[in-house]
Amino acid sequence: MSVRVQREDFDIGTEVKRLTAGRTDIGAVVTFTGTVRGDDGLASMALEHYPGMTEDELARVEAEATARWPLLASLIVHRVGTLAPGDNIVLVVTASLHRQAAFEAAEFLMDYLKTRAPFWKRELTTDGTERWVEPRESDDRAAVRWK
């Protein structure tokens, strides 16, 4: 169970290998990767966060997932800094005995992370305008369904 906030890109294969190295108890690994969409004339995106709280909050979200599902391993990696369309933003990996727990926990982690982890996105468009990304109501609804 671990969380990381970093500027650098991540490699999904490397992360999964590291998480499952030497484990023969795991029967299912689910990965989710969020990437930057290049729609609405997006040129780049700057991600800022609240150092310290971000890591704490991600760890709390992960602990909650571990309490709800029989996870054997999990990982959350979230990038900060300037990202371009197509770049990776976030990685969630969950591992369990059978697939259902891993699938559900991965979805839960993403839904909770989106409404609780203190990250803020600022978009720069190709015509030079900058704007803070507004929260989406659908994200709030997605998180509420787990209550």
Partner 1 sequence: MTVKLLYFAWVREKVGKAEEILDLPVDLTTVADLLAWLKGRGPEYAEAFGRPGVVRAAIDKRHVQPAASIAGAREIALFPPVTGG
Per-residue interface string for the shown chain with partner 1, residues 49-78, x marking contact by CB under 8 A: xx-xx--xx--------------------x
Q: Residue 146 interacts with partner 1 (CB under 8 A)?
A: no
H helix intervals, the chain: 12-20, 53-68, 99-116, 137-144
Tokens of 80: 């900060």
Max Cα-Cα span within the chain: 52
Binder of partner 1 out of 132, 141, 144, 146 (CB under 8 A): 132
Interacting span for partner 1 (CB under 8 A) from 13-21, 63-71, 95-103, 107-115:
107-115
Name residue 96's beta-bridge partners: 28, 71
Q: Residue 40 interacts with partner 1 (CB under 8 A)?
A: no
Q: Residue 48 interacts with partner 1 (CB under 8 A)?
A: yes
Q: CA 32, 2, 147, 144 torsion: positive or negative?
A: negative
- 104 vs 68: CA distance, rounded Å: 10
Q: Residue 87 interacts with partner 1 (CB under 8 A)?
A: no
SS3 96: strand
Q: Residue 4 interacts with partner 1 (CB under 8 A)?
A: no
Question: Which spans of this chain sit near partner 1 (rule: CB under 8 A)?
Answer: 34, 47-50, 52-53, 56-57, 78, 89-90, 110, 113-122, 132-135, 139
